[in-house]
């Protein structure tokens, strides 16, 4: 067996500090001239896996006490002291500058020999695919269980498209509630979220609690309040309502963001640059407030009086006599012994949009 050194780490850390601190730092991997050609087109990858040699590490114990918790086997730890003292970390590639790879998040000290580099592949390197198939919310549940709302917010951005304070507040309320109710959600309408607004807040709720528009467990009450009640049908009295008691904290604590919001969103007058600046500020605020205790923002009430709608019914279908399209029988309009859809009959209907529920004709 032969292992070669292909490069070396340049870091401000000459000796190890906590992994949390090192994960936040930038460092450089200097590749040796002999292997330089192997970096061709590496810029195409955002994330790389770095394998390195713990050159300062000596000896090992197969059973030992971890940093946190009781004694455990060596192969359940990331300790540098191992029979093959090899470390592996996924880093973000910031840029390549000739033989130098500038990376973010490498927890290796200055002078560490690098033995290999591979691109990170979400397909190959995501280990939970089978668990995910069995329990689609597996990863979300874990984040809620460990109260890792920061990562939960990161993921919620995939649904919402941007990061903003109200998305974070929705994630916070939902994460806190599911924890307290010890509730899981298999998307079968047992856990319900009754939201009182259709703002960004509700997307945080939908993502984190899995109570969505499509699985009929998001109940919308057109009240225009930043509030949500979580309730399990099987234990209706064990419900929790979260109401945002401090509605002005953004304009008060983040006046710059408040002003930009007024110009960019309320008045729709912001320049492209101002829009970008606002998103940047929003993101900063979102990731700041996600670390704050839920009670600071919300009035939390237990066992509120809440009327729970029935499970979504399954209706018969009919065909519209004019357009020929199939629709739920209860949504048809009868005219001269024929049935029509509301579109063809030009009859009144309700629409949920940015204004809430509005009657349309």
Positions in the binding site for Zn ion (CB under 5 A): 164, 167, 200, 320, 322-323, 341, 344
Q: Whose Cβ is closer to Zn ion: residue 108's or residue 200's? A: 200
Q: Whose Cβ is closer to Zn ion: residue 109's or residue 193's? A: 193
Q: How far is CA 80 from CA 60, 69, 75, 350, in A?
A: 9, 18, 11, 62
Q: How far is CA 137 from the centre of its chain?
A: 12
Q: Whose Cβ is closer to Zn ion: residue 108's or residue 320's? A: 320
Phi, psi angle pair for 14, to nearest 5°: -85, -25
Closest distance of CB 156 from Zn ion, Å:
10
Closest distance of CB 245 from Zn ion, Å:
20
Q: How many CB atoms lie within 10 A of CB 354?
A: 7
Closest distance of CB 342 from Zn ion, Å:
8
Closest distance of CB 323 from Zn ion, Å:
3
CA–CA gap between residue 166 and residue 172 (Å, rounded): 10
Q: Whose Cβ is closer to Zn ion: residue 218's or residue 344's? A: 344
Closest distance of CB 343 from Zn ion, Å:
5
Q: At 121, is the secondary structure helix, strand, or coil?
A: coil
Q: How far is CA 46 from CA 40, 94, 124, 279, in A?
A: 14, 8, 15, 22
Q: Whose Cβ is closer to Zn ion: residue 114's or residue 320's? A: 320
Closest distance of CB 319 from Zn ion, Å:
9
Closest distance of CB 218 from Zn ion, Å:
17
Whose tokens are 């709720």? That residue is 205
Q: Check: CB of residue 233 under 8 Å from CB of residue 188.
A: no
CA–CA gap between residue 296 and residue 81 (Å, rounded): 43
Q: Whose Cβ is closer to Zn ion: residue 96's or residue 263's? A: 263
Tallying the residues shown for the chain, one arrives at: 361
What is the Rg, in whole angstroms, of the alpha carbon atoms belonging to the chain?
27
**Residue 63 CB-density burial (10 A; 0-12 exposed, 13-18 middle, 19+ buried):** exposed
Closest distance of CB 163 from Zn ion, Å:
8
Q: Whose Cβ is closer to Zn ion: residue 183's or residue 257's? A: 257
Q: Whose Cβ is closer to Zn ion: residue 260's or residue 320's? A: 320
**Residue 178 CB-density burial (10 A; 0-12 exposed, 13-18 middle, 19+ buried):** buried
């Amino acid at each position: 067996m032969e292992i070669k050194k292909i490069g070396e780490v340049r870091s401000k850390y000459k000796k190890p500090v906590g992994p949390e601190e090192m994960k936040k730092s930038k460092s450089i991997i200097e590749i040796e001239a002999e292997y330089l050609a192997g970096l061709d087109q590496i810029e195409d990858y955002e994330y790389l896996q770095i394998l390195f040699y713990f050159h300062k590490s000596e000896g090992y114990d197969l059973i030992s006490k971890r940093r946190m918790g009781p004694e455990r086997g060596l192969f359940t730890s990331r300790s540098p002291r191992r029979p093959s003292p090899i470390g592996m970390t996924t880093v973000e590639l910031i840029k390549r500058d000739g033989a130098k790879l500038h990376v973010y998040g490498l927890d290796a000290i200055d002078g560490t020999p690098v033995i290999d580099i591979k691109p990170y592949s979400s397909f190959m390197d995501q280990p939970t695919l089978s668990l995910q198939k069995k329990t689609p919310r597996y990863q979300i549940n874990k984040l809620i269980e460990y109260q890792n709302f920061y990562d939960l917010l990161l993921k919620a951005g995939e649904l919402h498209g941007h990061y903003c304070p109200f998305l974070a507040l929705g994630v916070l309320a939902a994460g806190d509630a599911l924890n307290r109710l010890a509730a899981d959600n298999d998307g079968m309408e047992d856990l319900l979220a009754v939201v009182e607004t259709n703002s960004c807040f509700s997307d945080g709720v939908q993502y984190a609690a899995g109570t969505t528009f499509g699985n009929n467990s998001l109940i919308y009450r057109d009240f225009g309040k930043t509030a949500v009640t979580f309730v399990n049908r099987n234990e209706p009295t064990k419900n929790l309502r979260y109401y945002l008691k401090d509605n002005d904290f953004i304009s008060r604590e983040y006046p710059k963001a408040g002003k930009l919001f007024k110009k960019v969103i309320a008045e729709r007058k912001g320049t492209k640059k101002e829009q970008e600046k606002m998103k940047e500020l929003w993101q900063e605020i979102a990731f700041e407030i996600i670390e704050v205790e839920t009670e600071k923002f919300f009035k939390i009430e237990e066992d509120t009086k809440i009327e729970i709608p029935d499970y979504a019914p399954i209706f018969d279908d009919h065909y519209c006599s004019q357009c020929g399209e199939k629709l739920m029988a209860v949504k048809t309009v009868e005219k001269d012994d024929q049935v029509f859809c509301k579109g063809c009959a030009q009859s009144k209907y309700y629409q949920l949009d940015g204004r809430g529920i509005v009657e349309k004709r």
